Structures are given as C-alpha cells and as structure tokens.
C-alpha cells in the first residue's frame, strides 16, 4: 500500500541547524519503518513537508567548492551570517529572511517516482507557483532549480534546489526567493555559477510580496503535482 498523504509543518523563522535536526529525525522515522517491514509488511510510511524561513546562512553541498564562498570568517561575522557544510546535492547557496524554504521528507516509493522525477516535480511546483504571479520559470538542463530567461545573457535563478535521498526518502529541498535581500548573493558564486544572476519575486515585480500568500499557493501546487493530500 502507498501513502500519499503529506503532513504539513510550518516552522516559521527557525535556525538552520534546528531545522536540519528536525529533518534528520523525520527521515530516520520513515527509514526505520521501511527497515521493519519484514515484521509488518502493511506498515505505511508517513510523508512530511516543512516550510521555514531561516536567519542568514550560507550552506555548501557535499560536492560544492568552498572557494565559492567569497567571505572569510570575520566577514561572515560582520554579515551576521552562519555557514554550514551539508550532505545535500548542489554547491553553495544562501538562505535568509524573505526566502521560502521547503523541506519535503517524502518516501518516494509512496509516489512511485525516482530521484530524477522528484527533482523535476519540485521544479514544476516552483514553475507553476511563480506563474501565478505572472512569471515564466524555466529549467537549466545542467543544473537543478528554476530560472528566468534561462539560456540568455539575462539568466537569473529564482529558486535553488538541492536534495538528499536515503533509501528513497528525501530531505533538504528548495529555496524560493520571495522578498529576499539579494545582496547576500554577492558574497558567493551562487550554486557554483559566477556568470549568472539571482532574483526574487519582489525584485521582478517591484513590490513587497505577501509571504503567506506565496506559502498557500506553493502548498497547493505541491499537493497537486505530487497527487497528494496535504494534512
């Protein structure tokens, strides 16, 4: 049996490390059920979607290059920003106020998809979300995430995606720039790119965006694209 219900948790403003521990706990909970199926073959695994807004923090993926962080320790302190090395895919990115971060902790077997389709579906969630605000998002065949004007000299990323999967259970996720202070991206080569820009909904539309409205739209799009019931 498959469980396509997703438990939604809005963590509000939350330190990156605290949210990371929460993700790890939920992933272990799901994996332990899967490992115990020899004793209980009918046990259903839960799925979770966490929304969070982090204080300023730079995170580096497991295959990322630390040189893409253009600040030293003292400069990080001056920026009032933290730095973490993580086990997700992708290179370096920034999380901070005004950015909607989503951490889906899903058993992909519940949705009968593999990791490649999962990432494609995450991109589709973002593409359909920003389309509700009049923006046309696209994919870069060589890098996960959602872009505006990809393939042109004006290419700029509006959403970064970096995930990890263990026994087909996901963690980490996406970061959609809503009202984000984009100056923080000047201190890194975002996602390893030194020749492409970064943008936000606010930057594109020229007005402060209703953050809660974006949450509601994205949550609905997530449920629709994954064929899930959001609890």
- Pairing assessment for the beta strands 57-60 and 143-148 based on DSSP bridges: unpaired
Q: Residue 191 catalytic? A: yes
Range of the domain at 88: 5-230
pLDDT at 191 exceeding the cut of 60: no
pLDDT at residue 9, rounded to an integer: 97
- For 55, residues 6+ apart whose C-beta sits below 8 A from its C-beta are 13, 15, 16, 82, 96, 97
In terms of pTM, does the model score above 0.85? yes
Confidence bin at 193 (pLDDT 50/70/90): low
CATH number of domain containing 204:
3.30.930.10
How many structural domains is the chain composed of?
A: 1
Rounded distance between C-alpha atoms, residue 220 and residue 164, angstroms: 23
108-120 per-position pLDDT tens digit: 999 999 999 999 9
Q: Out of 42-46, 51-55, 131-135, 204-208, pick the least confident.
A: 42-46
- The strand order across the sheet containing 82-85 reads 82-85, 57-60, 92-95
Rounded distance between C-alpha atoms, residue 100 and residue 199, angstroms: 13
User: Of 60, 191, 198, 214, which is the active-site residue?
Assistant: 191
pLDDT at 190 exceeding the cut of 60: no
């Amino acid at each position: 049996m498959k469980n396509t219900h997703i438990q939604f948790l809005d963590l509000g403003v939350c330190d990156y490390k605290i949210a990371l521990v929460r993700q790890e706990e939920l992933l272990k909970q799901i994996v332990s059920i899967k490992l115990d199926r020899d004793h209980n073959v009918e046990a259903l695994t839960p799925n979770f979607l966490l929304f969070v807004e982090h204080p300023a923090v730079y995170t580096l993926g497991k295959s990322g290059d630390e040189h893409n962080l253009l600040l030293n320790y003292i400069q990080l302190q001056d920026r009032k920003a933290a730095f973490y090395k993580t086990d997700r895919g992708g290179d370096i990115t920034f999380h901070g106020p005004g950015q909607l971060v989503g951490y889906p902790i899903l058993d992909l077997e519940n949705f009968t998809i593999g990791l490649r389709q999962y990432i494609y579906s995450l991109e589709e969630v973002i593409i359909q979300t920003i389309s509700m605000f009049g923006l046309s998002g696209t994919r870069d065949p060589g890098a996960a995430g959602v872009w505006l004007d990809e393939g042109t000299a004006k290419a700029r990323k509006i959403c970064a995606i970096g995930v990890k999967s263990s026994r087909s259970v996901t963690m980490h996720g996406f970061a959609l720039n809503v009202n984000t202070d984009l100056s923080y991206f000047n201190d890194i080569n975002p996602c390893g790119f030194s020749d492409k820009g970064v943008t936000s909904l606010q930057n594109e539309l020229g007005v402060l965006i209703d953050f809660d409205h974006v949450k509601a739209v994205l949550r609905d799009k997530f449920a629709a694209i994954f064929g899930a019931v959001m609890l």
